[in-house]
Amino acid sequence: MLRSELIARLAEEYSHLRHDDLEKIVAVILDEIAEALAEGNRVELRGFGAFSVRERSPRIGRNPRTGEKVEVKAKRVPFFRPGKELRARVNGGDDPEAR
């Protein structure tokens, strides 16, 4: 789903809100999540999942075109872990990790 599709779907469900307002709402939510991750914080949306930041160590990579070894610097990458309810919904109501 694209951002524009999300906004269109919200506009259908919340017809009393202006399209411009919905665009701003979605932008603010996504910006706040991105800002929290940039600060190294964790963002948890109950029933949906949790966003966090993971550290990647420096390593020696390989250029796939030339085969030349390339130094890859350490970096921080966003990570998403789906919540139990989301996993169950994606799997047709059954949580594959349920014990």
Give the global pTM: 0.78
**How many CA within 13 A on the CB side of residue 6?**
11
- Predicted pLDDT of residue 92: 86
Is residue 98 over pLDDT 70?
no
Quick: pLDDT tens for 4-55.
999 999 999 999 999 999 999 999 999 999 999 999 999 999 989 999 999 9
Label the pairing between strands 49-56 and 43-45: antiparallel
- Predicted pLDDT of residue 33: 97
Is residue 95 over pLDDT 70?
no
